[in-house]
Chains A and B, each alone.
Chain A
Amino acid sequence: MSYPATTIEVFDPPMCCSTGVCGTDVDPQLSRFASDLAWLKEQGVSVRRYNMAQEPQAFMDNEQVKSAVNQTEGAALPAIVLNGRLISQGVYPTREQLTTLMQSANPAPASVSLTPANQEQGGGCCGPEGCC
């Protein structure tokens, strides 16, 4: 299965690097998630990752992420935005969860005419507490 018109954006909490090798402790979850993202890319998903400690402006530019971060004092991070909709907060989803999410975002197997992610922002069912 491939998901060519799917865009996933990951908004990471402030951290030094994406696996935590330079912090106090290495979190194997982070390596696992980084490799899951690499796997998603192989499936044709377009992946973009933002680290709060490096590109905070991206968090400001996304209204859903911004308000989730503000309401939870940061506990909403990591936040996952799929095709412009905030679909997960506070955890790194497993590969199974990611697969399910991809499938829900691509109901028709060969649908290639989805609207680009950045034009869909703000819409959808997701409140700041997360849903879907």
Chain B
Amino acid sequence: MLRSRRVLLKNSQTNGWCAKTTRTEKKIIMTWLDHTGKFYFFTGKGGVGKTSLACATAVKLADAGKRVLLVSTDPASNLAQVFGIEIGSGVPTQIKGAENLSALNIDPEAAAMAYRAKIIDPVRENMPAKVVKDMEEQLSGACTTEIAAFDEFTTLLTDDEHTRQYDHIIFDTAPTGHTLRLMKLPAAWSAFIENNKSGASCLGPLAGLEKQKERYSQAVHVLANPEQTRLVLVTRPEPAALREADRTRGELESLGIKNQWLIVNGMMPETTSSDPLAHAMRERGKNALDAMPEGLKALSTDMVELQGHNLIGIAAIRALLNPENSDHAASIDQSPPSIEEPSLSVLVEEIAQQGNGLIMVMGKGGVGKTTIAAAIAVELAARGEQVHLTTTDPAAHVEQLIDEAPENLQVDRIDPEAETKRYSEHVLASKGKDLDEQGRKVLEEDLRSPCTEEVAVFHAFSRVIRESSKKFVVVDTAPTGHTLLLLDATGSYHREVVRSLGDKSGKVTTPMMRLQDPKQTKMLLVTLPETTPVLEAAQLQDDLRRAGIEPWAWVINASLAAAGPTDPLLVQRAAAEVKQIEAVKQDYAKRIAIVPWQKDEPVGVERLSSIARQNTPETVSKTS
């Protein structure tokens, strides 16, 4: 039974160009807002507008008198950028301009630090410094970090005492891969505690875990109860985002989360202009929606149109769902900016000269990391280099971009499930070979711990890094938050190796050391010419520098300004890009390349390769 109610969210004043269009007034209906239960989850592929819509929903409900807590579970949260204030982790921050609204970041690093302090502080004075340092290191690994954040998450879901003062808790989640993992953990950990009899795990001694187990299974129930939890899948009218939304729908449905809604965000509205870009954009959106996966069609669906401006600040956020109050009218008479920056081909040229190496493509979700990584890989391969293109993003679709890879281009992905299996088998075959049956059983049991996945993925990542001393390895990374955690694991592995080898550590090269070596590794930060992705990339750059890694170049992707639009809405967006492009050039990047918005979906070897070649007239004229 279809319950689909497609509604166009009219936003004329916001866009400031309604005089030129002939659209009819439609009543705004935001059906996802009719959930009376406590929990909303906003999820979807990176860059689809989860944060904007979660924030707008939170403000809307708070304005209606509800007491709302907005929680970001993204390790690279954007709430601070949206509201323009520091957002607390651990203690919620009251949002200025929305009386009933508080916001909170679940910051895995901060959660892990608090977790460490809780355990270590009581004994710190009474134990030798060396022992305390060992404890700190043992509690700094990937799984401690994950567990600490996860603990905070389940507390919010289950601890009524803690959250009684709120009518709604709205979760703005990290991009898909990270979020699916978070949502699956309560079930995974309660099953593990149930089945493991050997006495200890990363969570602590299993004997003391009854309380946790109860909390985790309670969390599973809360998520699955439609009266309590509504999941809002946010998507763009783009094939990749729709596919990812559908996959998320399926996986969360199998966890019992059935109260699901869909918001298609950023649809190019109908226009009377003759701009071929605008028509191509609308066409691409319509085609994507026509080919929408069946599973999504069955969901209640709302539509939110493309906005002319960046959704930063509480006024812009509030206006998104209250267009009648918008004072964000922009000038209609903007002329399209002209942008002249080097194309991606300039970077590829320089990369190719090195002969081998690791190219890590990083950035916020949805900025086109996969496209840029694939374009670079395809172009390097076309130059005859041996290339391996892979991704650390559990939700990425890098293989789907490349129809027929040439022989010298290997395309695959680091699949957490497959890697966990591979790692477990390897450990059992090597470390387990001299154990008796019972010993092997104990090892097997521990390997079934949800922690193993974190470790296995890290080992796979290390393997890929090593490979780059012989050929080109292009890594499309997961969205920032997930990637930061992976780098953090790489750092703590490095410290652990150095600690355990002591004087002999000078002889080994850890994956971290390879990442820090500019001769071996080039980090590319990809961004859209929009406020949030630029800020996120800038923060990522700071994080990398703190880890001793210097980003090599910035790529500004999908620039409308570089594509030369004439449609008023697109011109408005293009004009807003200029400030961001300047900021990247002046404040952040050592090298820069700009990739214009593509009229055709950038898939297939031909189109991808052309992204890494086009743009400057000289390179365009070259035949391939």
Contacts and interface: CB of A to CB of B under 8 A. Distances in A.
Interface of A: 13-19, 21-24, 26-28, 31-32, 34-39, 47, 49-57, 59-60, 66, 69-70, 73-74
Given A18-B199, A34-B199, A35-B439, A51 B446 contact: no
B123 A60 contact: yes
Given A23-B496, A53-B119, A31 B126 contact: no
Contact of A59 (B123, B138, B447, B452): B123
A31 B440 contact: yes
Given A21-B451, A21-B455, A70-B126, 15 more contacts: A21-B427, A22-B142, A23-B138, A27-B431, A28-B432, A31-B440, A38-B198, A38-B438, A49-B205, A51-B200, A54-B200, A56-B135, A70-B128, A73-B128, A74-B134
B135 to A, nearest CB: 4
B493 interface: yes
Interface in B439-453: 439-443, 446-447, 449, 451-452
A23 B141 contact: yes
Contacts of A39: 438
A17 B435 contact: no
B364 to A, nearest CB: 29
A16 B138 contact: yes
Interface in B392-414: none
A9 B301 CA distance: 59
Contacts of B435: 28, 31-32, 35
Given A16-B143, A70-B127, A56 B199 contact: no
A22 B205 contact: no
B201 interface: yes
B204 interface: yes
B507 to A, nearest CB: 16
A17 B427 contact: no
User: What are the 6 tightest A-B residue pairs by CB atom distance, in nearest-first order?
Assistant: A35-B439, A18-B200, A35-B438, A31-B443, A74-B131, A14-B138
Contact of A38 (B139, B143, B442, B451): B442
Contacts of B427: 21, 26
B500 interface: yes
Greatest chain A CB density within 10 A among B138, B440, B447 is at: B138
A107 B217 CA distance: 47
A52 B200 CA distance: 12
Nearest to A39: B438
A78 to B, nearest CB: 13
A28 B200 contact: no
Interface in B196-245: 197-202, 204-205
A55 B131 contact: no
A23 B451 CA distance: 10
Interface in B419-440: 427, 431-432, 434-436, 438-440
A112 B198 CA distance: 26
A18 B201 contact: yes
A79 B11 CA distance: 69
B497 interface: yes
B438 A17 contact: no
B120 interface: yes
A48 B431 CA distance: 25
Q: Is the interface of B mostly helix, strand, loop or mixed?
A: helix
Contacts of A60: 122-123, 126-127
Nearest to A24: B496
A57 B452 CA distance: 27
Q: How large is the interface on B (under 10, 10 to 19, 20 to 34, 35 or more residues)?
A: 35 or more
A17 B449 contact: yes
B383 interface: no
Contacts of A66: 126
Given A21-B447, A22-B454, A31-B439, A56 B198 contact: no
Contacts of B199: 18, 34, 37, 47, 49
A49 B454 CA distance: 25
Contacts of B452: 21-22
A10 to B, nearest CB: 10
Interface in B338-394: none
B204 A55 contact: yes
B144 interface: yes
B128 A69 contact: yes
B164 interface: no
Contact of B436 (A27, A35, A57, A70): A35
A18 B446 contact: yes
A87 B199 CA distance: 22
B463 to A, nearest CB: 15
B3 interface: no
B297 to A, nearest CB: 42
Nearest to B494: A24
Contacts of A16: 138-139, 141, 143-144, 202, 451
Nearest to A71: B128
A75 to B, nearest CB: 9
Nearest to A31: B443
B431 A28 contact: yes
A54 B138 CA distance: 10
B563 to A, nearest CB: 47
A76 B321 CA distance: 64
10 contacts: A16-B143, A17-B446, A21-B449, A35-B436, A37-B199, A52-B131, A53-B139, A54-B205, A56-B135, A70-B126
Contacts of A49: 199-200, 205
A80 B442 CA distance: 20
Contact of A22 (B123, B126, B135, B202): B202
A38 B197 CA distance: 9
A24 B128 contact: no
B162 interface: no
Contacts of B137: 14
Contacts of B447: 19, 21
B130 interface: yes
A34 B196 CA distance: 12
Contact of A24 (B202, B439, B449, B497): B497
Contacts of A74: 128, 130-131, 134
Contacts of A27: 431
